[in-house]
Amino acid sequence: MSVPEQPVTAAPNRAGRFWLVAMTVVVLVAFVASRLASSSPDGLDRVVQDRGLVARSAPDNADQAPLAGYATAGVEDSGPTKGLAGILGTLAVAVIAAGAGWVAMLASRGAAGRGARRRHGDASP
């Protein structure tokens, strides 16, 4: 089913290209999606509205959150501003998630010592 001539582990330049393409896709999606997003309520919001569920009318931290409503404060409904907010959030998520993973890895190495590498190569899906 898969392409037979692909190497098992990608060559360095190929790996670099994957990360470049992937990061470009992510930033593009962030910029475009945050501007084009449908303004209709999502599934849960729709259920809340239609069935008369009770929630607070605004988020508790609506005034404190720097990018509340996916726009920077004061310039709402501005397409480029929303795109920028989307990109800022995306970069923050990337850094925090990778950082959390890094800390978790160091912590597990510290706890389990050299034995931690045993688990690698597990072949079940």
Partner 1 sequence: MHVPDGLVDAPTSLAAGAVAAVGIGVSLRRGGKELSGSRIPLTGLVAAFVFSAQMLNFPVASGTSGHLIGGLLAAVLVGPWLGALALTVVLAVQALLFADGGISALGINVINMALIPAFAGYGLFWLARLVLPRTRAGVLTSTASAALLSVVAGAAAFTIEYALGGNGAVPATTVAWAMVTVHVLIGCGEAAITTLVVGAVLTTRPDLVYGARDLVGRTRPVPELQGLR
Residues between 80 and 119 that touch partner 1 (CB under 8 A): 85-86, 89-109, 112, 116, 119
Contacts of partner 1 in 11-50 (CB under 8 A): 15, 18-19, 21-23, 25-27, 29-30, 32-34, 36-44, 46-48, 50
d(Cα 96, Cα 80) in Å, to the nearest integer?
A: 24
Instruction: Assess 51 for contact with partner 1 (CB under 8 A).
Output: yes
Cβ(81)–Cβ(71) below 8 Å: yes
Shortest reach from residue 58's CB to partner 1, in Å: 8
Cβ(24)–Cβ(31) below 8 Å: no
In the list 11, 12, 13, 61, the residue contacting partner 1 (rule: CB under 8 A) is: 61
d(Cα 71, Cα 34) in Å, to the nearest integer?
A: 9
Question: Given its phi and psi angles, is residue 74 left (phi above 0), alpha (psi -120 to 50 degrees) or beta?
Answer: left
Instruction: Assess 120 for contact with partner 1 (CB under 8 A).
Output: yes
Instruction: Assess 77 for contact with partner 1 (CB under 8 A).
Output: no
